[in-house]
Structure 1
Amino acid sequence: MQDFLSFWANLPWWGWILIFLTIVAVMDIFFNRKHTIIHNFPVVGHLRYFLESFGPELRQYIVANNREELPFNRRERGWIYASAKNMNNYEGFGTDQDIYSTHYIFINNAMLPFKLPQGHPNIKNSGFVPSAKVMGAWNKRKRPYRPASVINVSAMSYGSLSAKAIESLNEGCKLSGAYHNTGEGGFSPYHARGADVVFQIGTGYFGVRDDKGNFSMDRLVRLVTENPQIRAIELKLSQGAKPGKGGVLPASKISREISEIRGVPMGKDVVSPPYHSTFDDIESMVEFVESIANATGLPTGIKSAVGQPKDWEILAQIMHEKGYGPDFIAIDGGEGGTGAAPPSFADHVSLPWIYAFTDVYKIFQKFKLTDRIVFVASGKLGFPANAAMAFALGADIINVGREAMLSIGCIQAQSCHTNTCPSGVATQNKWLQAGIDVKDKAMRTNFYFVKFRKELLQISHACGYEHPCQFNTDDVDINLSDKNLAKTLAITFSYHKDEVNFDSVRQFLDCPHLGGNLNLKNLRITEDAIN
């Protein structure tokens, strides 16, 4: 017995390792029933699964080149990070893009750029770019709204994102003059940090539902009355990541606070239905939109991904005949990704933004309705050149989702649906959220928006325009196939954008109540900091 104990006491370190590996090998061969690789290659087979566990991070930071990774490559993320940190976001030695690739866009600059006249507001604040159109102007809503920024935060719910992430985005929007879309998860205290808010109503009616889960107009009116920073209502029909499929908030993400805000029980997944219970067809949907606008006095619009054009023909026909309808329409591209979805939906259901938007715009142009509607565009448009292309096609406002997440520290870990987001942006885990400094991230959001608008405005000036709404479909070329080479957007999509009344923007400076919580003083301070 003493010799046995002495043997183990004097066993060298490599002996312990050898014994451990032998035990692992025996377990792998005789007791493993799940993994063929581990059974056939005991011990070393574990290395395969270990490497697979951090394969995405390995490719993201080491293997993939600057322009290769999706959904946002390293160069795109780098531009957002540098802009948000108020650092140098330029690149040297020319472009490394394949400028001959299909769908590559070229913006046609003028021989002589636009020259700002003396006293122009962009001389003091080169990041000030308000919307050219007013939401609710045509339908004469009681509280029309002109967004003070053409770039704003897209719909992302509290629950999907963390409390600190929502708070950071809202305070950043306040600083930059952008609005903040709540997403379908209801209006939380973190949306009440001073920014203008677009309140989204989804199929679950979270935040405005009665005890049975049905929509309650009384609760909506009370919410709008108690929170004057809510400037518009958006009815979500579908989103680009998963059109025709309801949202899912895992039970692991539902805190007591989220349960109370949404009006849902704790301990089980919250599943939104793919359809609305308040209407059954497009005509009754229009009437529902009108009833919300009349009850709240706010501009009311819809958000949708695009598939079958006949539905949009019906909507345009109804609006043409009745003389009313949505004040704004948000077109979400199939490349959207702020909602987790099955790959079959994320990859194949609904059209990409450029196809979706041009199909819809042409329909409303045919019915002479483009001047009545504020067109909101979303779907990987969070970069100045992409935004210029969107304005050339007819967009009036750009909403950004994932790009805004990147500005507050998202590292594209793609674990939003697992509640394990390492950056604390898309998780309800208190420990992971603890690393978010709200004041710092709010300033980063602010810098991202201001630098975005500044660069978009510089592109507009380079093309001879004062405001991006003046872009038209002849101002941008897009690469087609090798045979067709590059053609203008007008030729490619067979229409010319209708002219936008830019003169109304100048009146905005004399009517600040249309712009909500815009603080020009804060914007000037921000711009001085950037310059």
Structure 2
Amino acid sequence: MTEVFVLLKLIPWWAWLLIILACIAIYDVFINKKHIITHNFPIVGHIRYMLERVGPGLRQYIVASNREELPFNRIERGWIYASSKNENNYEGFGTDRDIYQVNYIFINNAVIPYKLPPEHHNAKDPYFVASAKVMGEYNKRRRPFRPASVINVSAMSFGSLSARAIESLNIGCKKAYAYHNTGEGGLSPYHKKGGDVVFQIGTGYFGVRNPDGTFSIEKLVKLTSENKQVRAIEIKLSQGAKPGKGGVLPATKITKEISEIRHVPIGKDVLSPPNHSAFGTMAELVDFIEDIAEQTGLPVGIKAAIGKLDEWKELAQIMKETNRGPDFITVDGGEGGTGAAPPSFADHVALPFIYGFTDVYKIFQAAELTDRIVFVAAGKLGFPAKAAMAFAMGADVINVAREAMLSIGCIQAQVCHTNKCPTGVTTQNKWLQAGINIKDKSERVNYYFNNFRKELLEITHACGYEHPCQITMDDVEINLSDRFISKTLRETFGYSKSKVPFDSVETLVGCPNLGGSYRKGKETDVKEVLTEDTSVSDQ
């Protein structure tokens, strides 16, 4: 045996390399039955698959220009990274956007901007932008809710996101007075770190389901009574990533903890069916909403991506005739989102936000219902100018998902569904999660929200208004063709948003239903927005 080892040591390294390559070649030619490329081009063919695997990353950082990447280009991600690190998020030497491209947005500034009086609350706290509307006020819910921030975290479940990612987001929401939507995966311990919570009910009824998978109102009442940070309930009808398809949480992501939170078995893929079992018609949906609101005392809303409009018209008619129905409506853009989906769904099913929202808003405006509904907008709106456009169209609150993920370190690797997220944001792998510093990442969420609100306010003031809810459709223009024709949103979509009841920011600060434990006169702990560090890196 010793002689054998001695002989092996005498073989040079290059000979070992040739032996290994020969073995690979033999396997490729005589054993491989799956891959044509490696069979026809042994050894060399493997390089093709290696390049295919690393190609997206190479294109993202080396090949693609700053404005080419999707879903979020390098400039957009750079702004979020800089804002979340409280670094300089400015650009020099003018825009590099093609301002004549179709659907390009222009915001019409006033000749004389709005001037903050010295005693104005925003003069002391430039980050305070609360919702002008109150969820559940019209329907007289026992615990109405005014979001203390107009930008909040959209629905992302624990299970889809890691524990450390969820905890970072929730603590960041607490600091920024924002609310945190649980997603349909149930209320986890990581959602209970002090931030306001919107509890989402999906078709799987996770966390509030009976053993047979049906909805349990008793469990929901118990959950909301024991967790006062739950300020509203959202019923998910569909989501932008895959409307009408449902979803799957792979068995590889289901830990013992997730199993206990969702009330599902370990070792099996968890299915969220396309349809709810608790209701099947618009009338039954309204009954479902009212039953939940009555028993929990909380505002209840619905979330959906927009396609056909007949059922929305039916819902508006029921609400008008009965004075019952959702307290808020979340319109999710069909641009896709954090949920993994077949390309056919992500690319083609449901309307993009700007088209879907205008269609739905016009329906409820025609029924004279816009004053009783808080409209929540979602769909790549995590940038101040896009948010201003959404407010002009009738939105009252903005929800962000992927932008919030970017603020805690996501690098847009687009492997969320594989449990191999390199930054630990969308994986249950303990080693990959360990890289998330909760204290640091929660502060980044806080900075992102604060810098976002400050810049949105600055745009609002440039338009001559005190609050974003006052921005109108005539204040925003959109390019309609490559012949440099632009029209206002009002001219383009054929309506003007209803006037939002708003007196002043001072009345919002003192509102007893204001979320986030925000109180008038509370000192902000946010540092100066700009620092000398102008570097922008992913993490």
Q: TM-score scaled by structure 1?
A: 0.97
From the superposition, tell whether residues 362 and 512 of structure 1 become closer, same or farther in structure 2 (CA, over 3 Å). same
Q: 1:465 aligns to what?
A: 465
Deviation at 1:7, TM superposition (A): 7.7
8 A contact 1:127–1:527 mirrored in 2: no
When residues 121 and 311 of structure 1 are mapped into structure 2, their CA distance, relative to the original with a 3 A threshold, is same
Q: 1:407 to 1:4 in 2, by over 3 A?
A: closer
Q: Give the aligned partner of residue 354 of structure 2.
A: 354
Q: 1:144 and 1:504 mapped to 2: Cα distance?
A: 20
Q: Which residue of 1 aligns with 2:289?
A: 289
Q: Deviations over 1:204-238 (max 9, x none)?
A: 11111122221111111111110111000101100
Q: C-alpha distance in 2, partners of 1:43/1:519?
A: 67
Is the aligned partner of 1:117 residue 2:117? Answer: yes
Counterpart check, 1:235 vs 2:268: no
Q: Which residue does the alignment assign to 2:71?
A: 71
Distance 1:91 1:458 in 2: 16
Task: Please give the alpha-carbon distance, in whole angstroms, between the structure 2 residues aligned to 1:23 and 1:516.
Answer: 64
Q: Distance in 1 between matches of 2:269 and 2:518?
A: 38
Deviates more, 1:496-505 or 1:119-128: 496-505
Report deviation, 1:142. 0.7
In structure 2, the partner of 1:525 is: 525
SS in 1 for 2:82: helix
The answer to whether the 8 A contact 1:200-1:236 is kept is yes
SS at match of 1:278: coil
Moved more, 30-39 or 490-499: 30-39
**Are residues 504 and 282 of structure 1, via their aligned partners in 2, closer, same or farther at CA, if it must alter by over 3 Å?**
farther
Q: How far apart are 1:505 and its partner, in Å?
A: 4.6
Query: Is 2:437 the partner of 1:437?
Result: yes
Distance 1:528 1:46, change over 3 A: closer
Work out whether residues 152 and 400 of structure 1, in 8 Å CA contact, stay in contact via their aligned partners in 2: yes
Distance in 2 between residues matched to 1:470 and 1:254, nearest whole Å: 45
Q: Secondary structure at the match of 2:321?
A: helix
Corresponding residue number in structure 1 for 2:416: 416
1:41, CA displacement in angstroms? 1.1
Question: Structure 1 residue 483: deviation in Å?
Answer: 4.0
Aligned-CA RMSD value = 1.8
Q: Which residue of 2 aligns with 1:159?
A: 159
**Structure 2 unaligned runs (5+)?**
532-539
Residues 329, 373 of structure 2: 8 Å contact kept: yes
Q: For residue 162 of structure 1, what is the amino acid of its counterpart?
A: S
For the 8 Å contact 1:249–1:271, the answer to whether it is kept is yes
Identity %: 68
CA shift at 1:319, angstroms? 0.5
Query: How far apart, in 2, do the equivalents of 1:457 and 1:241 lie?
Result: 30
SS, match of residue 474 in structure 1 = helix
Runs of 5+ unmatched residues, structure 1: none
Closer, same or farther: CA 367–20 of 1 in aligned 2, 3 Å: same
**Per-residue deviation, residues 5-47 of structure 1 (Å, max 9, x unmatched):** 9986544332322232222222211221111111111111111
Distance in 1, Cα, partners of 2:272 & 2:119: 51
In structure 2, distance between residues paired with 1:89 and 1:469: 25
Residues 523, 230 of structure 1: alpha-carbon distance in 2 compared, 3 angstrom cutoff: farther
Partner of 2:39: 39
In 2, Cα distance between the equivalents of 1:268 and 1:236?
Answer: 23
CA contact (8 A) 1:336 1:378 kept: no
Give the C-alpha shift of residue 3 in structure 1.
12
The one-letter amino acid paired with 2:419 is: N
Q: Partners in 2 of 1:484 and 1:60 — Cα distance?
A: 31
Task: Tell me if the contact between 1:145 and 1:516 (Cα under 8 Å) persists in the aligned partners.
Answer: no
Q: Secondary structure at the match of 2:106?
A: strand
Alpha-carbon shift at residue 312 of structure 1 (Å)? 0.8
* Partners of 1:61 and 1:522 in 2: CA distance: 42
Post-superposition shift, 1:456?
0.4
Tell me the number of residue pairs that the alignment of Structure 1 and Structure 2 aligns. 531
Q: Which residue of 2 aligns with 1:273?
A: 273
Name the aligned partner's letter for residue 426 of structure 2: A
CA contact (8 A) 1:320 1:369 kept: yes
- What does residue 136 of structure 1 align with? 136
1:94 corresponds to? 94
Is the 8 Å Cα contact of residues 164 and 425 (structure 1) preserved in structure 2? Answer: yes
| Alpha-carbon contact 1:126-1:527 (below 8 Å) kept | no
Q: Which residue of 2 aligns with 1:502?
A: 502
